[in-house]
Structure 1
Amino acid sequence: MERRNFLKKTALGSVGMLAAPYILPSGRLFAATGARKVNHVVFCLFAGGVRNWESVQKAEGNLMPNILSGNEAITNDIASSMSALPSSPLSAPMQTMGTLFREFRFSDGPTGHYNGHTTAITGQHTNTALNLRAAPEWPTVFELYRKHSNPAASATNAWWVSHTNNLYPLLNYSSHPSYGPQYGANQISPNQLFSNSGLNALGNSYAIDPDVAEELDRLRHFTNAQFDVPFSAAAGLENSKEGRDQIQAFINRMVQEAQGGQHNNPWNIPSGMNGDMRNIFYAEQVLEEFKPELLVVNMFGVDVAHTNFTEYCNNLRRADWAVAHLWDTIQNTPGLANDTLLIVAPEIGRNANPNTILDANGRPALDHTTDDAVSREIFCLMLGPSGVVNTGNVVNQVTGQSIDIVPTIADALGFLPETNGILPGRVLQEAFV
């Protein structure tokens, strides 16, 4: 298919996907251990700001029964406002299948959503100088994996499934001089890409925050250029025709199914699927089609906590169900089952003290600010094959930080950092046998 027609008929011409598949040059700053723990890692950012009080500490009862063990009853007023959900996709809570760090920390930097995402995806703390119009300073987990794990592998092995196109596609790759767009992942924002407005505007940019429109447009031009530039003129890059054709067929199929209504409520949720569920659903489609070695997906529905505490609790419960469905899909997908490490962690917490906005139940809403220690309290759950990940293990002491997730992913996929300052965190060895 001609490039122009391909970009028009799929979403690759939009900002919905910001990187094309390509073959990488060699070169290592990381030492390959040759001893992978698993061949696939899925990192789910349970994002939007989740306070430990409502999650692992169960202040309102067990709002996350698919992830956490325990039958603590949900507070009456919250329970009466919960959306109906099907029974659990799993036979037991995920906590029993892996290691739960109950007192994880986002230990440094402003407690903003984008700061939290940047720290989790780069393994580096951020500061107030974080540029919301530029790629991060330090390499992302996608770049580290693409450059140092298996440089000859197709880019279809790395995916970033973000809940929106606002800011978050910038986390695909960094401005670090040793890395950059040639080491990025394939990136999609399916809630926009496959929405009614997205389907009606394929090949065009979406209405996005003007503060990042310029940067996203630059990334879009980079993507388009990769279809025309030969290997010799593209700074060592070469498109993988096989990967490009597979992505083309996948996007075409997703578009057709979405237009046919097959994605309206594929999980048969009685109350309907929210944005978090839909983003996880599309991440599952990517996993089943490409079986990537690295996939990062995020959720954001709980951020309604700024104005509605009850709906925050409701969306926390829906996100919990979605993660259980994700793990069930992984365990029932040949090539991924018993060979995948799943990491689940919020990007930041929320304040100890509420703001002045009350919901229908008279519950005050919650913000997140840097000077509030509770907004730094998060959790982390790691699941994987038996014999690799400790099962039923709960780490109750304050240990582990969000900067430790990228080194743990690097360790699981068989490459470790040398002393170069790129990853200051540590491998979360407590999770492994």
Structure 2
Amino acid sequence: MPVNLKAPVAQDLAPIAGVRIGVTEAGVRKANRKDLTVFLLDEGSHVAGVFTKNRFCAAPVQICREHLATQGAIRAMVINTGNANAGTGTDGLARANATCDALAGLLKIDAKQVLPFSTGVIMEPLPVDRITAGLPAAIADAQPGNWAKAAEGIMTTDTIAKAFSAKAVVDGKTVHVTGISKGAGMIRPNMATMLSFLATDAAIDTALLPALAKQLADQSFNRITIDGDTSTNDSFVVVATNQAGNAALTDWSSADGQALMAALRDVAQKLAQAIVRDGEGATKFIQIEVEQGRTEEECRQVAYAIAHSPLVKTAFFASDPNLGRILAAVGYAGIEDLDQTRIELYLDDVHVATKGGRNPSYEEADGQRVMKQQEIIVRVQLGRGAANTTVWTCDLSHDYVSINADYRS
């Protein structure tokens, strides 16, 4: 069961003017499940994306990068679940292109105006015939209110759909932001997330979008980890349809810019945290805060050393306050001149370690009290400077092994 995460309510998700979404069952891998989704974008929409840095990236990632590089107007996106079309070589590229060709033909647009996305099993041929056969039904289903349905349609091992909305006032106009994501395992993004699509009706200067996508990823999806594995298919796409009626935003430092950025960041962070809360086999949501570093990068090193440690994660699962494991992770994070006598460690409100050793006032019963919670904050002070960062992760349970052992069955 996900940790304090509820399924989205369709009525709570704001439709985005200029975006229609259709979902259908194409039988990509399994029968009787929503597994094919299309996004149809009105003319005047602008799109930017960031993608996995895994060098063994999937065919659809390669095609998306190519199509976005043309700087043409993206008019559609097609997403299938059940098959990642990764590790498939030139045949995979041909199948991804064939999917784009098929959707473009139905919509009477250029194939380079289509972005393809896939998620699922790696190294299996994409059943492009099933996908193309399902496209007419997906298009026929397209409507603005299908965000919750789409969140369900892009799931793989997720146990719950993930979708959020926010709004802001920009140039006197109410603008909306809605996003969906999927992901529960093979999670340690190195750019963005497994699959996530975020759209706003706000008018935004096209030149700002690429940097916006990267900034939002760095503030959300690049701060989560479940198992330390970076996927071959990670994709995060931002769409601005420019239909809210505001003057096109050109400056994020303005009051309007900050208001819109806050709404965008809110949705992106909620989506990223939802992935951790729904981590495969997860029973606890853990926020790791590293403070007083010399640079944000070294804070991130320490945070991820803790978040990736199987010993730390299994201790959290067992509610075992074996907190020396956290100090050990801090020590091997790679900061060569780290002074252990400056380290302070807190578990929520409990001061566990001071000056690199056990706090004389620390009682194990207090540590266990916190460890039994579903939501836990780990705070480490390095005593080196003023930089800080936050990473979100979960525990590691028996179910994680079972889920991944049975993934292809």
TM-score range, shorter chain: under 0.3
Q: Which protein, 1 or 2, shows the higher relative CO under an 8 Å CA cutoff with sep ≥ 6? A: 1
Query: Who wins on radius of gyration, i.e. which is larger?
Result: 2
Whichever structure has more strand as a proportion of its residues is: 2
Q: Normalised by the size of structure 1, how large is the TM-score?
A: 0.27
